Amino acid sequence: MFGTGPIKGFAVTLSIGILSSMFTSIIFTKVLADLIYARNIENKKLN
């Protein structure tokens, strides 16, 4: 429907790359934010 074989292959590869990059960045940011938040709570308990 849209484009020829190589163009479809490129589109699929590009889509997979974008989705995996987005997933990785969201998960990494969430884990990093959770670690920073947990560290701040521990520091407030010590003071």
φ, ψ for residue 15, nearest 5 deg: -65, -45
Structure-block tokens of residue 20: 């995996």
The per-residue pLDDT for 16 is 98
> C-alpha dihedral over 32, 33, 38, 43, to 10 degrees?
100
pLDDT digits (tens, 9 = 90+) for 30-41: 999 999 988 887
Q: How far apart are the first and last CA of the chain?
A: 64
Report the distance separating Cα 39 and Cα 34, nearest Å: 9
pLDDT tens for each residue of 6-31: 889 999 999 999 999 999 999 999 99
Structure-block tokens of residue 30: 């969430």
Q: Global pTM?
A: 0.66
- At 47, the pLDDT band (50, 70, 90 cuts) reads low
